[in-house]
Amino acid sequence: MFTDQCKTYRYMGHARFEPGLYRSKEEVDQWKEKDPIQRQKKVLVREKILNKREIEEIQRDAKDDITRAIEFARLSEDAEKDGGLKYVFSS
């Protein structure tokens, strides 16, 4: 069963340093059970579209891509001060 909509939930606070203590553990646990990524993995395996090893490989590749993108950003020169407005037009 595939869907074009996945409702998700932020498990942590709004920032790394904010613990998000305004929600109960039970609420967070309930949403973790509904996690669209975890649910979709189960569907892919159940429907024999991918196996667990293939899913793990995809996740590893994605993590590697993110790591390379972060390193590229760190090594890149700072953007020009007005660079954010370069392709913004108004009439």
27-52 per-position pLDDT tens digit: 999 988 888 888 899 999 999 999 99
Where are the chain's structural domains? Answer: 1-73
The chain-wide mean pLDDT, for the chain, equals 87
Contacts of 2 (CB under 8 A, 6+ apart): 43
- What is this structure's pTM? 0.65
d(CA 45, CA 28): 25
